[in-house]
Structure 1
Amino acid sequence: MPTTRTRPPTPPELPLRPAERLCRATGALLVLSGLLHLLVLAVDGGPWDGPVSWRKPVTFGLSFGLTLVAVTWVTSYVRMAAGPRAALLLVFAADCVVEVGGITLQAWRGVPSHLDMETGFDTAVSMTLAVGGGVLVVVLTAFAVASFRSRPAGPAGMPLAVRSGFAILLVALASGAVMIARGVILTRTGHQEAAYHSTAPLKPLHGVSLHAVLVLPALAWLLSRTDRSEAARERIVLWAVGCYAAAVVATGVQAALAW
């Protein structure tokens, strides 16, 4: 008799811990902030590009909000103790709020948020954002190391998706650190205008690599809801990882040529 393929059972969802609920709610509020500032941009107008633009609270609110929600979810597959994971998530959430808050504050003041050292207050905001970037690097690197130290849990394809997502996220962190470092050096040496434009070549690389930690695990999760075999799902995830890596390499080459 012909055999019929049945859909694999969906594993039960574990209840969210308080830290996870807080991080998800915070991420949702940051996304909402980005969307509200998109409305402000539509009403108030102004340029999309440049160091002073409503684009920054829009894109940073959306990016930080989505990344916070994604990291909160994805790290549930990473094998690490609940206490350290919760602590890292809370630090990450607080840092996301500080970053988006500082950027939004400066947008409403009509001054650049990064690399602006015209006044003492602007310098304090700019340096706070730079230090916050360092905190992001430490926290997300800790999660990435944990994902490679022990094989992540989850359905077929999820371990590869989680590890690849964090590996590509490290590219985003590195490119962001380079942008900040180069901009600070130019600002400190009196090349303020050049500092604002110095980040442009790396922005596509930073943006593309930032969200692999959401896209790839989300694909693995969606595939787990289908009736495809485990081998087929793993092949699809592997293909997606290759395509995403190719996109990162392409934007990296573009950045190097424009540097």
Structure 2
Amino acid sequence: MTDPRTADRLCRADRLCHVTGLLLVLSGLVHLVVFAVDGGPWDGPVSWRKPVTFGVSFGLTLIAVAWVTSYLRVGARLRSVLLLVFAADCVVEVAGITLQAWRRVPSHLNMETPFDTTVSMALAVGGGVLVVLLTVFAVASFRRRPTGPAGMPLAVRSGFAILLVALASGAAMIARGVVLTRTGHQEAAYHSTAPLKPLHGVSLHAVLVLPALAWLLSRSPWNERTRLRIVAAGVGCYAAAVAVAGLWAVLTYR
């Protein structure tokens, strides 16, 4: 039986993650309004696109991970601690990117000044923390079968597996960009990430989309076998989309 105090801490961690995620999404939407008013380019290393997309993406991912990990068979205290660290890391990432957008300088791979270098390195370290935390959750999903309605275990495992593709592509973008920056090819570093962005973006949100599909189907009148088949088809379609994005990255990567 779960200790009431542990359950209360876990509920507070979930609520904190949900509220923080909503605030990050709101931050992204606010910057979409700023872009509409201020204008400027949408693409490139200096644009309002970054606080918009990162705010919305990190917010949705935080909410999704807090929800989806409730189906994992992990210790309540461990999950609570990991979620709180994950939430703090998401805030740091979005805050750093937003700060640099308002300063009108690149957020990633920017070593122009000591302050810019500090921000860039903080974002890189934060990205490493994200990789570790999400990998721990992904491994947990495969070590013990997740709970939930028909199709949810498959959706959770597939979502985390595809999320690992997003983490790998993100790490590849940072690694290549850092190498180019360190060798004096700053402009090339900013453009080197473009081929991998579709793969990174598509694979990032499987951990939300696929479990959401399983949850919605659990509210339908269909039997478990039918729901499982639909989830499996959804996983196949999503995997195909990731494969197309991966092929595009291979064909356009220089």
Q: TM-score range by the shorter chain?
A: over 0.9
> Deviation digits for residues 176-213 of structure 1, max 9, x if unmatched?
00000000000000000000000000000000000000
Deviation (angstroms), 1:241: 0.2
> Matches of 1:179 and 1:106 in 2, distance apart?
19
2:67 pairs with 1:68: no
Deviation (angstroms), 1:173: 0.1
Q: For residue 8 of structure 1, what is the aligned residue in structure 2?
A: none
Determine helix, strand or coil for the equivalent of 1:113: coil
Q: For residue 155 of structure 1, what is the aligned residue in structure 2?
A: 149
Q: For residue 3 of structure 2, what is the aligned residue in structure 1?
A: none
Out of 183, 187, 190, the residue aligned to residue 181 of structure 2 is 187
> Matches of 1:114 and 1:137 in 2, distance apart?
17
Matches within 5 A, 1:157-236: 157-236=151-230
Determine helix, strand or coil for the equivalent of 1:17: helix
Matches within 5 A, 1:83-122: 83-122=77-116
Instruction: Give the fraction of aligned pairs with identical amino acids, expressed as a percent.
Output: 79
TM-score for the superposition, normalised by structure 1: 0.94
Whose radius of gyration is greater, 1 or 2? 1
> Deviation digits for residues 62-100 of structure 1, max 9, x if unmatched?
000000000000000011000000010001000000000
Deviation (angstroms), 1:129: 0.2
2:22 pairs with 1:25: no
Q: For residue 48 of structure 1, what is the aligned residue in structure 2?
A: 42
TM-score for the superposition, normalised by structure 2: 0.96
> Matches of 1:131 and 1:184 in 2, distance apart?
13
> Deviation digits for residues 103-157 of structure 1, max 9, x if unmatched?
0000000000000000000000000000000000000000000000000000000
Determine helix, strand or coil for the equivalent of 2:109: coil
Determine helix, strand or coil for the equivalent of 2:111: coil
> Matches of 2:175 and 2:195 in 1, distance apart?
14
Unmatched 5+ stretches in structure 2: 1-6
> Alignment length, in residue pairs?
246
2:80 pairs with 1:80: no
Q: For residue 51 of structure 2, what is the aligned residue in structure 1?
A: 57
